[in-house]
Amino acid sequence: MWVRVACILSTEHTEMALRQPSGTITSCSTFALKFVPHRWVENVPVIERVLEVLPALRQYKKAIDDKKLKAPDTKFYKQVAAGCADPLLEVKLHFMLSVAKILQAFLLRFQTDKPMLPFIVSDQVNLVLNLLARFVNTGTRDTLKTAADVCQFNVEQTENHMQVDMGFSAEKLIRQQASMKTKKFSDKDVVIVRQDAKSMLIAVCKKTLTKTPMSYVAARNMMCLDPRLMASEPDKCSTMLRRLLSTCADAKLVDANTCDDVLSDFSNFMRTTPRGDLESFDVTNDCIDSFFHQRMFTCHKKAWPVVQMLLVLSHGQATVERGFSVNKEVVVENQQLQSLVARRIIKDYINVVKGVANVDISHPMIVSVKGARARYMNDLSVKKEKQEQDKKAQKRKAEEDKLSEMQSDCKRLKTDIAQLTANAKKMYDKSEATGSISFTTQGNALRRSADKKQKLVDKLFKDIDAQQLVIKQM
């Protein structure tokens, strides 16, 4: 519940509350940022802004309680008011902020187009261990030596838990409150908040371990392409590459007969590359594909194709998600698909050349701009022709559907006529056998019904011929 309160406090409704005439009461010129659940990068600034405006929010609520302002009759104000009345809200927000900062460092590093798969497993192991350090005892954490150990660890086993660490700022607020004579919250309230915090940490760890590539052997062995690991543990990197090659050979991505040559060439690369170059590799500033291309492409032609293939593997969908954000920026009302594609091409090119000022205004571009009006008119005429063709096709389809319906009606009537004629013949046979006039009467009634339906069939035949002629002339 307290996580939802933090989200509510960081919505535009908080800003609406502060922007009302209460500005003269709160003297607040800073407003809350909008919270977007799927924009995880914004969690830290949003929570920080909530902590900044929280005193003004409480002052605004107090003015409403004192009848100085009229209370908004909305569910959003009620939720904000309930959050402001929570004495442990600052503790909860500081805890959320501390966890968000742990996650943000990892998420920002991998929000890039560079090949990052060789580093993602080690960084995710560190991320999970940092989260486990908040509620799992030291002895248990010391047993988690490898990525496989972390993947298999059950975070819900209570015997491995300790009192949850709420973070420095949150713990400081709790200690300050404990030393005061008049307490705003009880020890029981603190225990409940700690339990909720542990539940949140457990949920985050479980989700991370569920979605992590650590569970895949190939992803764990991709660590062999980390230059820093090559410098410190070359034998381990060779073993990991051997496992990777085995996986690739099973998938028929690599010829098994060449794997020994690849392993030998990779070992030579680790042995001949200066140790300082490997140790000084910076994940943030350096690009691993450029690093290997400069050192492998010329001298290690057997290992380079395999390394190149492995580096193509994506570490996530950051590029796709960022593309959604770009689409949102360039989309306007009543925009068609072609316009959106054109605007994206322009924006992507400007990003490639690093600014509008670097765009080369070439002669072909000028000629293309001059012919833009003619292309536009031609496109309009093409669209108009297409619309007319679509209308004709729709009209023809309607006529064909009508013809199909007539043919199905004719077929049904023929079936009915055959059934009525057969039943009438049976009645006549019974009348002849028994000498009863009633069977003859029934047979005559059936025969009359068959004659009426036959007239309908004859009319349908004429209508079908006329309909076929209409369709043929279209």
pLDDT of residue 317: 62
pLDDT of residue 224: 92
Q: How far apart are CA 149 and CA 108, in angstroms?
A: 26
Q: Is the pLDDT of residue 84 over 50?
A: yes
pLDDT band at 201 (very low <50, low <70, confident <90, very high): very high
Closest by CA position to 150, among listed 70, 206, 92: 206
Lowest mean pLDDT among 21-25, 84-88, 223-227, 458-462: 21-25
Every domain of the chain and the residues it spans: 2-213, 217-311, 318-359, 395-473
Q: Is the pLDDT of residue 120 over 70?
A: yes
Average pLDDT over residues 413-425: 90
Percent of the chain clearing pLDDT 70 (strictly above):
86
Q: What is the 3-state secondary structure of 49-69?
A: HHHHHHHHHHHHHHHHHCCCC
Q: Copy the structure tokens of residue 158.
A: 């209570």
pLDDT of residue 437: 84
Helix axes 187-211, 89-109, angle to 10 degrees: 20
pLDDT of residue 80: 77
**Whether 128 contacts 105, CB under 8 Å:** no
Helix axes 304-311, 234-250, angle to 10 degrees: 80
Average pLDDT over residues 364-369: 88
Q: Is the pLDDT of residue 1 over 60?
A: no
Q: What is the pLDDT of residues 3-59, one digit of tens each?
A: 444 444 444 444 444 455 444 555 666 666 655 554 555 678 888 888 888 888 888
Q: Is the pLDDT of residue 199 over 70?
A: yes
pLDDT of residue 240: 92
The mean pLDDT value of the chain amounts to 83
* Residue 224: Cβ within 10 Å count: 24
Closest by CA position to 253, among listed 313, 317, 314: 313
**Whether 97 contacts 171, CB under 8 Å:** no
